[in-house]
Amino acid sequence: MTNRFSPLDAVHRGLGAKMVPFGGWEMPLAYPPGTLFEHAACRTSAALFDVSHLGTVRLEGPGAYDVLQSTLTNDLGKIAAGRAQYTHLLDDTDASVTDDIIVWWLSEDIFDVMPNASNTDGVRSAIGGRDTTATRAVLALQGPTAREVMAKVSEQCAAIGRFQVAQVDVNGVPCVVAGTGYTGEDGLELAVPAESSRHIWNLLVDAGALPAGLGARDTLRLEAALPLHGYELGKGITSLQAGLEWVVSWNKPTFRGREALAQEKSVGPARVLRGISIDGRRPARDGSAIRNSEGRVVGEVTSGNFSPTLGHCIALALCDRSVSVGDAVSLDVRGTFLQGLVVATPFVAKK
C-alpha cells in the first residue's frame, strides 16, 4: 500500500526530519536536534507536532448526535457544542476497542470525529459521515508555554480551554481549534486547511515552538500512561482491561459492544493494564514476557521505552489481575531478565 503524505511533508523534509511510515502515512520521527531534545522542549516550553495522520470524519445534520450517542461508549449528554470528548468504538462481538477517538462537537449538529491513523475507514463504516482528512492538516502545540506561543499568533486561540472547541480565524485562516493533545502537557490542536498549513506552522515556529516528531510524542504519551491503539488498545483488548471504564457510560441504553462489555464487567477482566518501572536504559519492548517472583508468566509488555524525564526505562503491560502496585517482576528481553517494579501511573504527572 502506498503511504499518504501530510500537507506539511515538504516542510519536514526541508527541516531535515527523519521520515518513517506510520499507520499508512509517512511522518517525521525526529528532527536534527533529536527525540530527547524535542521531548524536553515539550516538558519545559512548547513543541509543535504534525499529527495530520489522524483521521477526520465530519458528521452533520439533525441525526448526527443520535448516531454517535448510540454507537460510541461515552455520553455526549455530559458535554455540549463547543466541547471535545474522548470515547471508544467497540467491536460488537467481543468488545475489543476498534478505535479510541476524540469527538470535536463544533456546533449543534456538526461533529468532527477523529480516529487513529489507519482506522478512518472502519470508523466511517460504523458512523457514516464524510472523510475530510485530505482537506486539512492537524497541528498539536503542546507544553507549559504553548498558550504563550499561541497568543503571539492568536489570543483567541490561546484562550480556548481544556477540551473546549471553537472555529477561529487565525491570521486570516479559518481553523478549528481544540484544547486537546496526547502528551500529558497542556496545549492546543489546530485543524488547518491543507493549503494554509505551512503558513500557520511557520507562524507558530517563529513564535517560539520547536518542531517535534512522533518519537517524542511516543515517549511523552508513555510517561503520561496514555494508551496507543495497536498496543494498549485493539483486538482482544477492552476498555475495562485498559483501565478506561470512565469512558464507558453504562447509563446509556445502547452503544456498540455494550452486551459483550457488560458480560466482561460481570465477571471482571482477566487482565489489567499496569505500569512498570525498570532500572537502567535498556527498554523492554512490546511482546516482552513478564514473570512474577515465582517465575510464572503473568503478563506481556504493550509499550516500553526509556523515559527522558525520569532517566530510566518504563513500560505499560497487560497483566493478570493478581499483579498489583508494589510487586517485583522480571521482564524477559531476548533472554536477558530485567528487574522491574509495578508502580502507579501516570509515570509523570499530567499537567
Same domain, 189 and 40: yes
Q: 168: domain CATH number?
A: 3.30.1360.120
Q: Is the peptide bond before 346 cis (omega within 30 degrees of 0)?
A: yes
Q: What is the CATH number of the domain that holds 67?
A: 3.30.70.1400
Q: Looking at the predicted structure, is the pLDDT value of residue 122 above 80? A: yes
Residue 343 pLDDT more than 90? yes
pLDDT band at 3 (very low <50, low <70, confident <90, very high): confident
pLDDT digits (tens, 9 = 90+) for 41-67: 999 999 999 999 999 999 999 999 999
Read off the pLDDT band of 350 (50, 70, 90).
confident
Amino acid symbol at 215: G
Least Cα distance to 261 among 121, 89, 101 occurs for 89
Could you give the CA distance from residue 8 to residue 28 in angstroms, rounded to a whole number?
A: 10
Identify the residue whose cell numbers are 460504523: 126
Pair (77, 218) in one structural domain: no
User: Which pLDDT score, from 0 to 100, does residue 161 have?
Assistant: 98
Answer yes or no: is 84 within a domain: yes
Alpha carbons 49 and 42: distance in angstroms, whole number: 10
Shared domain check, 155 and 115: no
Q: What is the mean pLDDT of residues 271-296?
A: 96
Closest CA to 221 of 274, 181, 184: 184
The answer to whether residue 346 is domain-embedded is no
Q: Are residues 37 and 77 in the same domain?
A: no
Residue 301 counted as domain residue: no
Confidence band of 118 (pLDDT split at 50, 70, 90): confident
- Residue 191 placed within a domain: yes
- Residue 89 falls inside a structural domain: yes
User: Do 201 and 88 lie in a common domain?
Assistant: no
Confidence band for 242, pLDDT divided at 50, 70 and 90: very high
Task: Tell whether 46 and 176 lie within a shared domain.
Answer: yes
Task: Give the residue numbers spanning the domain of 75.
Answer: 57-131
Give the span between the Cα atoms of 213 and 224, in whole angstroms: 17
Query: What is the number of domains present in the chain?
Result: 2
The domain boundary, picked from 131, 154, 175, lies at 131
How far apart CA 227 and CA 237 sit, in angstroms, is 11
Q: Which of 131, 157, 175 is a domain's end point? A: 131
Task: Tell me, yes or no, whether 155 and 171 share the same domain.
Answer: yes
Based on the domain organization, do 142 and 98 belong to the same domain?
Answer: no
pLDDT digit string (tens) for 158-180?
A: 999 999 999 999 999 999 999 99
Give the mean pLDDT of 137-149. Answer: 98
Residue 39 makes CB contacts below 8 A (sequence gap 6+) with 212, 216, 219, 220, 308, 309
The per-residue pLDDT for 1 is 61
Q: Identify whether residues 72 and 214 lie together within a single domain.
A: no
* β-strand partners of 170: 173
Mean of the per-residue pLDDT values of the chain: 97
Q: Is residue 73 part of a domain?
A: yes
77 plus 200 within the same structural domain: no
pLDDT for 60 equals 97
Please check the confidence at residue 2 and state whether its pLDDT lies above 80: no
189 & 101 share domain: no
Q: Do residues 66 and 214 both lie within one domain?
A: no
The predicted-structure confidence for 199-235, as pLDDT tens digits, reads as follows: 999 999 999 999 999 999 999 999 999 999 999 999 9
